[in-house]
């Protein structure tokens, strides 16, 4: 099996990126690591904004009504973003 591709982001510099650059990086992680899994269950996620280290997401489809979207799924998304971009990122559902 193929090893997961790491995004070429310097984690030390991530928080100093513009919000637009952060958004691009977050979208890359979502596209590579997260959206496919959510789609298998009929759901999805949209980034509504980034404020410093806080990523605001909106669930789509089945994720919107799923009880685990505010716990397990949110934790999964946050863990992926922290591992691939920056350990201080916080994900909030809006």
pLDDT at 2: 44
Residue 36 burial (C-beta neighbours within 10 Å; 0-12, 13-18, 19+): exposed
Whole-angstrom CA distances from 63 to 1, 58, 70 are 28, 9, 9
| 76-89 average pLDDT score | 94
CATH of the domain at 64: 3.30.300.130
What's the number of domains the chain is made of? 1
In a domain, 3, yes or no: no
In a domain, 6, yes or no: no
Q: Is residue 62 part of a domain?
A: yes
Q: Considering only 1-10, 49-58, 63-72, 80-89, which range has the smallest mean pLDDT? A: 1-10
pLDDT one-digit tens code per residue, 11-68: 668 888 898 999 999 999 999 999 999 999 899 999 999 998 999 999 999 888 888 7
Give the model's pLDDT for residue 1.
39
**Residue 43, both tokens:** 């759901």
């Amino acid at each position: 099996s193929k090893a997961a591709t790491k995004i070429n982001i310097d984690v030390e510099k991530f928080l100093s990126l513009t919000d637009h650059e952060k958004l691009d990086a977050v979208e890359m992680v979502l596209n590579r690591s997260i959206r496919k899994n959510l789609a298998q269950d009929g759901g999805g996620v949209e980034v509504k904004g980034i404020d410093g280290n806080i990523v605001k997401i909106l669930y789509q489809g089945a994720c919107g009504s799923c009880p685990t979207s505010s716990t397990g799924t949110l934790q999964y998304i946050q863990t992926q973003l922290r591992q691939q971009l920056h350990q201080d990122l916080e994900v909030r559902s809006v």
